[in-house]
Amino acid sequence: MRRPAPRLRRVSVVGVLLRTPRGAAAATWLALLLVAAAVSRAWTPLDPFTTDPYSAWLPPSAAHLLGTDSVGRDIASYLLAASATTVVVAVCAGLVAVVVGLGLAALGSLTARWVRDGVAVLIDVLVAFPTILVAMALAAAFGGSLTVVVVATGVGYGVTIARVSRSEIRRVVREDYVTAARASGAGTAAVLRRHVLPNIAPVFVVQLSLAMATSILAEAGLSFLGYGASAETASWGRLLSDLQKFLGVHPWTVLGPGLAITLTVLALNLLGDAVRDAADPRLRTRSPGRGGTLPPEPRAPGPSPADPARSPAPEVTS
């Protein structure tokens, strides 16, 4: 008798997540970030944009937890306000990536053969395009803005998601239980809902967290170049850009914003890793710690180069 499809029990994922120290740390940081973003909309210690040139470059103190910048703005308040921007960009980019990714993946696996093949080629071609070039093209056409960042990263990573999802969809669609379901009369939608989606879900969540991490790095880089957040929007990347001019005189003020970005991206990466490990033990690459050898990694002949599902790190887009 064949086992039913291994369904993912949501409880176990979260449980595993919080049990590993890395997963717990990542989840904690992200929770803190969400809280900070929410709080900053209502309150910050000082107004992040108020200047006070007589108080420029103050070292950290009780009044200014991280000191002040070249025109006397409170860096801590600014970082807090910018966390909201980060959350918004990450979530929006993630959404765009998901929509684009699923859409393209569906087009590429559930339609007529010629459409499928055409989309497959298109996906393979688009995957190679660096996101930043997409962003620069849009910025040249429309001027820089956070929307450009979100669209560019969302579309850029959406194509990667499409590629991964497509191969996953095709894999799952060939499984016996799907054939059985089809044979027993279930429609495509029902098959999708009950069998395909839950099984590609783990890969999907991993890709989503990587997409969000990539979008944060992209926002930092593009805001640094001047094509991301505008002057009225607090942004970690923009603060880096403002501080760049003064690297020769106040080099270590860049620690604040840079650390914020790094920790957030790290947390998202670790989250993705943890979900992947929890969801499918076959994909684990580390020792389980209890002795004994690992089963060898499944290796198909002719690996597709840089299959993002097996990639442990996101594209560096900053």
Partner 1 sequence: MRPARLLATVTAVVATAALVAGCTSGGAPGGSGSPDPDATVTVGLVLEPSDLDIRHTDGIALDQVLIDNVYQGLVGRTQDNEIVDVLASEHTVSDDGLTYAFTLQDGVTFHDGAAMTAADVVWSLQQVQSDETVAGHADLSAVSSISAPSDDTVVLTLSRPDSALLFALSGRAGLVLEQAATNDLSTTAVGTGPFELASWTQGDNLQLTRADDYWGTPAGVGTVVFRYVTDSSAAINATLSGDLDVQTAVDATLSSQLEGAEGISLETGKTTDKYTLAFNNAVAPFTDVRVRQALRMAIDNDALIAAVGGSAVDQGGPVPELDPGYTDLTSVDAYDPDAAKALLAEAGHADDLDLTLEYANFYPAAIGDVLTTQLAAVGVTLTVDQVDFTTWLDDVYTAPADGSPRDFQLSMVNHAETHDFGNWADPSYYWGYDSAPVQQLYAESLAATDPAVADQKLAAAAEIVSEDAPAEWLYTATTLTAVRDGVTGFPTSSTSTRLDLSELAATE
Partner 2 sequence: MTRFLLGRLALFAVGLVVASVLIFATLRLLPGDVAQSLAGTNGSPAQVDAIRASLGLDRPVVVQYLDWLRGLVQLDLGRSLVTGTPVAEEVGEKLTVTLPLAGLSLVVGLLVGVPLGVVSALRHRRASGALLGVAAQVLAAVPVVWAGMLLIALFGVTLRLLPTQGFPVDGWDEPGRALRSLVLPALTIGLVEGAVLFRFTRSAAIGALDEDYVRAAAAKGQTTTRALVRHGLPNVLLSVVSVLGLQVAGLVVGAVVVEQLFALPGLGRMLVSDVGRRDLTKVQGELMTLTALVLTVGLLVDVVHRRLDPRLREGGE
Amino acid identity at 183: A
Count of residues near partner 1 by CB under 8 A: 19
Binding flag, residue 189, partner 1 (CB under 8 A): no
Alpha-carbon distance of 312 to 275, in angstroms, equals: 12
Supply the minimum distance, in Å, between the C-beta of residue 249 and partner 1: 5
Q: Which is nearer to partner 2, 175 or 280 (CB)?
A: 280
Binding flag, residue 51, partner 1 (CB under 8 A): yes
Select from partner 2, partner 1, none the partner in contact with residue 115, using the beta carbon and a kind-dependent cut-off of 5 to 8 Å: none
Among 16, 71, 127, 266, binds partner 1 (CB under 8 A): 71
Supply the minimum distance, in Å, between the C-beta of residue 93 and partner 1: 27
Supply the minimum distance, in Å, between the C-beta of residue 41 and partner 2: 25
Number of H helices, E strands in the chain: 11, 0
Select from partner 2, partner 1, none the partner in contact with residue 238, using the beta carbon and a kind-dependent cut-off of 5 to 8 Å: none
Q: 107 CB contacts (<8 Å, ≥6 apart)?
A: 115, 116, 119
Matching residue, tokens 């910050």: 44
Binding flag, residue 286, partner 2 (CB under 8 A): yes
Residues 111-140 that bind partner 2 (CB under 8 A): 121-122, 124-133, 136-140
Select from partner 1, partner 2, none the partner in contact with residue 316, using the beta carbon and a kind-dependent cut-off of 5 to 8 Å: partner 2
Structure tokens at 245: 């001019």
Structure tokens at 233: 């929007």
Alpha-carbon distance of 216 to 233, in angstroms, equals: 15
Tell me 174's DSSP state. T
Q: Which is nearer to partner 1, 56 or 283 (CB)?
A: 56
**Distance, first Cα to last Cα, the chain:** 51
Site string (289-308) toward partner 2, x via CB under 8 A: ----xx-xx-x-xxx-xx--
Binding flag, residue 56, partner 1 (CB under 8 A): yes
Residues 83-112 that bind partner 2 (CB under 8 A): none
| φ, ψ of residue 74 in degrees (nearest 5) | -75, 115
Supply the minimum distance, in Å, between the C-beta of residue 44 and partner 2: 23
Supply the minimum distance, in Å, between the C-beta of residue 6 and partner 2: 23
Structure tokens at 318: 């900053």
Q: 296 CB contacts (<8 Å, ≥6 apart)?
A: none
Alpha-carbon distance of 107 to 101, in angstroms, equals: 10
Among 248, 282, 290, 292, binds partner 2 (CB under 8 A): 248
Alpha-carbon distance of 235 to 220, in angstroms, equals: 8
Select from partner 1, partner 2, none the partner in contact with residue 262, using the beta carbon and a kind-dependent cut-off of 5 to 8 Å: partner 2
Q: How many CA atoms lie within 13 A of 281 on its CB side?
A: 7
Would you say 275 and 205 are in contact if contact means Cβ atoms under 8 Å apart? yes
Using CB under 8 A, list all residues that contact partner 1: 49-54, 56, 70-71, 73, 231-232, 242, 244-249
